[in-house]
Amino acid sequence: MPSVQPALDHPAARAATAPAAQTVPAAQTVPAARTGLAARTGLAARATTPVRAVPAKFRDRQVLPPWAGPAAASAGHDALLPVVGADLDVPLVGGGRVRHVNLDYAASAPSLVAVADQVARLLPYSASVHRGAGFGSQVCTAVYETARDEVGRFLSVRTDDTVVFTRNTTDAVNLLAHCVAHAVGRAARVVVLDLEHHANLLPWSAVRREVVESRTTPEETLDALATALRAEPTALLAVTGASNVTGERLPLARLAAVAHDAGARLFVDAAQLAPHARIDLAGLGIDYLALSGHKLYAPFGAGALVGRRDWLDAAPPYLAGGGAVREVTPASVTWADAPARHEAGTPNLPGVTALATACRTLAQLPAEALAAHDLALRHHLVDGLGALPGVRVLACWPAAGTDGTRVPVGVVTFTLSGHHPDAVAVYLAAEHGISLRAGRFCAHPLLRRLGAPAGALRASVGVGSTTADVDRLVEALDEYLTGGPRWRYTCGPGGWAPAPDDRALPEWAASTPAARVPVTSPCGT
């Protein structure tokens, strides 16, 4: 198959009158395709042809490393926890519908059913938090403060730590940068690695940021950080817990020791780590940590900054307003202590409730279940991709050791030689109902370092994922590489899109036709 060009027009897509082979790799057939465009493009056959069997080259791929243990061997086949939208069906170009396969957990995970249920219980009591004598207000205030305690327990915080609710991880990092600038000073030195998400790179411009280039092995990277920290006084070492690009984890306990030995504190961006692993903040020696609800099986709009109180109390409010004060006069103000100091205004109670419920639900899983499920699915995915020609899985460092150290989380990023990642992602969604991410994942320096400056494809799994989902992706990619897409795709100002796109958005979703909604980002973020 030729390389994808700005107007992807494979011979298979031009064969408008040729009967199409069945390509919907789902656990069911889909309704009959529409007439007209579908018939003209040869896609009508896909709606009634039975599902094809899994090709032999993709069977029996569940071979796990010996250190994985018996729990991992049986994990991954079924969802670990029920999620909202698990039975959602989505339209395909040319007609028909298919069960949606969500392999984009690293961007925003679906909400747990338990989360949706708890939010539904809360909504009838909607009232002001911290500001009412009515029964609804009492309920909402109790729920809000209980949520703070539950997030703290989930992360095993120290007794004197505090939990500040934010909008998301980006908001939390900016809050901490604001506090460092005021508590330590704008000349405070903050050391970061070049493999970070932009949310853990850009906010530190409020102080004196130094970016350390990661080395070819974790040990060399650790040595480089230690050298940088010893070079001059440093306030903070800011690192990711798990890469949002490769899924690789950093040795947090060792990083905490290196930072503390140099007189610095450790901040961890746990947006990708928290959904996949239990974090013992106190035991690991982490001083500050940020996470997002929308990656942790809760809806959008809530996150948290968790950690030591002193810097938070030493800075003025990140957002000034009601709730952040003790006393106000025309000439002065006395601010409240954290967390209230940095939570001005009416809080996002449904979002905070959802975040806390997700934390509580994940904490109730057996200790090894989450890791085993994650490991099984990731291994299945990497093995399946390895059977395809031209696929390169990206990694910062050599594979994890045989003792299970540095086991990555369920995030796998890869390239297809000669094919534009955005075009492939749009094909997967349009012709197979599969969602994953294409682009540079808000980590441009890391993508350049990994040899993919134009972007890549990222598949990510979670508690609602199954091996059947992974198989759907691998089979769809195999079809793309061997036969090409059946539809034509073009790249315009809004990014790559089917040409034409006859899928309709739900009536309640938007008045804008689907064809006018950008499918991929033109800048590949």
Distance of CA 183 to the CA centre of its chain: 31
Tokens of 463: 């508690």
| Residues contacting 496, CB < 8 A, separation 6+ | 420, 422, 423, 425, 426, 489, 490, 519, 520
Residue 53: exposure state from Cβ atoms within 10 A (0-12, 13-18, ≥19): exposed
Give the C-alpha distances (Å, rounded to integers) separating 503 from 1, 85, 348: 27, 19, 34
Tell me phi and psi for residue 170, to 5 degrees.
Answer: -55, -45
The helix (H) or strand (E) run that includes residue 438 is: strand 437-439
In sequence order, what DSSP letters do the residues of 285-336 get, joined into one string? T-SEEEEEGGGTTS-SS-EEEEE-SHHHHHS--SS-STTSEEEE-SS-EEEP
The helix (H) or strand (E) run that includes residue 385 is: helix 369-386
What is the C-alpha R_g of the chain? Answer: 24
| Residues contacting 383, CB < 8 A, separation 6+ | 61, 63
Residue 357 CB-half CA count within 13 A: 23
Yes or no: say if 331 and 282 are a contact pair by the CB < 8 Å rule: no
Instruction: Give the position of tokens 């890791």.
Output: 371
491 labelled catalytic: no
Tell me phi and psi for residue 327, to 5 degrees.
Answer: -155, 140
Yes or no: say if 412 and 460 are a contact pair by the CB < 8 Å rule: yes
3-class secondary structure, 392: strand
Q: How many CB atoms lie within 10 A of CB 463?
A: 25
3-class secondary structure, 97: strand
- Which of 179, 359, 396, 442 is catalytic? The answer is 442
- Bond prior to 506 in cis (omega within 30° of 0): no
Yes or no: say if 514 and 106 are a contact pair by the CB < 8 Å rule: no
Whole-number Å distance between alpha carbons of 449 and 330? 54
Name the DSSP letter for residue 34: P
What's the CA dihedral at 52, 55, 56, 62 to 10 degrees? -100
Q: What is the pairing mode between strands 411-416 and 97-99?
A: unpaired
Q: Which residues pair with 192 in a beta bridge?
A: 211, 238
Q: What amino acid positions are annotated as catalytic residues?
A: 442
